[in-house]
């Protein structure tokens, strides 16, 4: 026989949304992502806006494999 949960789970605690990333000066990729984001916002595609924000945030971060190779080479 299975036991049924009869009480509610604890509420989920979400933080505030992150600030929208700004393109780095002189970076063509960031500029293109910002233009795509503006077009997506203008067309009401908020999911695409969110995806482009994530891509812009991660654009200048080192790749995990490269970061691991650098750490192990030291």
- Global pTM reads 0.66
pLDDT for 2 equals 73
Q: Which residues contact 18 (CB under 8 A, 6 or more apart)?
A: 53, 57
**Residue 49 scores a pLDDT above 70:** yes
**Residue 20 scores a pLDDT above 90:** yes
What would the pLDDT profile of 57-69 be if each residue is shown by its tens digit? 999 888 776 555 5
Report how far apart, in Å, the C-alpha atoms of 8 and of each of 3, 26, 55 are: 14, 51, 36
């Amino acid at each position: 026989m299975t036991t049924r949960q009869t009480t509610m789970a604890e509420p989920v605690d979400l933080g505030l949304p992150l600030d929208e990333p700004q393109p780095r000066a002189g970076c063509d990729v960031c500029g293109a992502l910002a233009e795509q984001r503006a077009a997506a916002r203008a067309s009401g595609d908020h999911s695409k806006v969110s995806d482009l924000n994530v891509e812009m945030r991660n654009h200048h971060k080192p790749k995990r494999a490269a970061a691991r190779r650098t750490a192990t080479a030291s």
